[in-house]
Amino acid sequence: MPKPHVPKLAVWKFASCDGCQLSLLDCEDELLAIAGQIEIANFPEASSAIVKGPYDLSLVEGSITTPHDEERIHKIRKMSKYVITIGACATAGGIQALRNFKDVNEFISLVYARPHYISTLSKSTAIADHIEVDFELRGCPINKSQLLELISAFLHNRKPNIPNYSVCAECKRRGTICIMVSKGVTCMGPVTHAGCNALCPSYNRGCYSCFGPKETPNAASLSRWLLEQGVEKEELVRIFRGFNANAEPFRKESEYYEK
C-alpha cells in the first residue's frame, strides 16, 4: 500500500530578529498534537537536519533588504505550494523599513568603518512586494494560536479563521473601557489588526500597532480625531512610523503629515 503523503513544512528567515520563528518554537506542546500529520522538513532555527523540497507550506519571516534576498525569495516561491508570511518584517518591511524614509547610504557611511563591503537595497520591503503570497499573518511577534490555526487550515485545504477587525473590537469583547475616550490616551487600536486580545489598553496603555493595519483602516479619520485632541503633526508622523511604517496606509499617513 502506498504511504500517505505527509505535507512538508519549511521555515525561512530574511532580515528579522527571529522573534516570529521563536513563536513557532514556543508551540512545541501544540505541535506535538499535529506531529505525524506534517513533516518539519526545513527549519534551521530548530534543527540542522534539512529535507530537500519541494515543500507544501513555507513560512517566511523577515523583509527583503539585499539583492541576495531578492533572488532567494523567488527560489522559495518556486519550490513551495503555499507561502505564508509571518510577522511585521515579512508583511510590511518591519522596523528596518524606517530606512525607507532616509538615505541609506548616509547610515552606511556613519556606521561602518569599511562601507565598501556593504551590499544592501535602499529599501526594506515586504515579501508580497516581490512574490505572490497566499496569506499574511500580522504581528510583532505573531500570535501563536493564529499561527497554528493557519497551519492547520492550509494543511486541510480550508479557509483560515483569522479575524481582520480592529483591536477596538477586542477591547469591547473583553470589556475594557476605551482609554482614548475616557483618559485621552493616544491609541492606534481603531486602525490596528486584531490578534493580541487588546493587551495594551487593558493595562491602560495606548496601542502602538505592533499588529499593523487592519483590513481597510481609516487612518485619515484617526489622524483627524487625534489632531482635534491636540496631538501635534510631528507626533502623528511618529505613531504611524513603528513596526509597520512601510505598510501602505501607515506610510501614506506619515508622509502626509511630514510635508
- Nearest alpha carbon to residue 148 among 140, 244, 156: 156
Rounded CA-CA distance 176/205 in Å is 12
Q: Mask 4-23, x = binds ligand SF4 (CB under 6 A)?
A: ------------xx-xx---
Q: Which grid coordinates are listed for 190?
A: 481603531
Per CB under 6 A, the segment of 73-81, 118-126, 178-186, 226-234 that binds ligand SF4 is: 178-186
Of 49-57, 152-160, 163-171, 223-231, the window that binds ligand SF4 (rule: CB under 6 A) is 163-171
31 binds ligand SF4 (CB under 6 A): no
Nearest-approach distance from CB 189 to ligand SF4, in angstroms: 2
Residue numbers 34-63 binding ligand SF4 by CB under 6 A: 61
* Closer residue to ligand SF4, CB minimum distance, 200 or 236: 200
Are residues 160 and 153 in contact, defined by beta-carbon separation less than 8 angstroms? yes
The residue at minimum Cβ distance from ligand SF4 is 189
Which of 168, 191, 236, 239 touches ligand SF4 (CB under 6 A)?
168
Nearer to ligand SF4, 55 or 94 (CB): 94
By three-state DSSP, how is residue 116 classified? helix
Backbone angles phi, psi at 87, to 5 degrees: 95, 165
**Which residues, 6 or more positions from 184, have their beta carbon under 8 angstroms from its beta carbon?**
229
Task: Supply the DSSP string of 94-107, one letter for each residue.
Answer: -GGGGGGGS-HHHH
Cell readout for 26 is: 514556543
What's the CA gap between 76 and 10, in Å, rounded? 10
Per CB under 6 A, which of residues 126..155 are in contact with ligand SF4? 140-141
Separation CA 24–CA 143 (nearest Å):
9
Three cell numbers, residue 196: 493580541
CB of 151 to ligand SF4, least distance (A): 17
How many residues touch ligand SF4 under the rule CB under 6 A: the total is 32
Q: Does 97 bind ligand SF4 (CB under 6 A)?
A: no
Q: Does 200 bind ligand SF4 (CB under 6 A)?
A: yes
Of 179, 219, 236, 247, the residue at the interface with ligand SF4 (CB under 6 A) is 179
Compute the C-alpha angle 29/35/38, nearest 5°.
130
Where along the sequence are the contacts to ligand SF4 (CB under 6 A)?
Answer: 16-17, 19-20, 61, 87-89, 94, 140-141, 167-168, 171, 176, 178-180, 187, 189-190, 192, 196, 198-201, 207-211
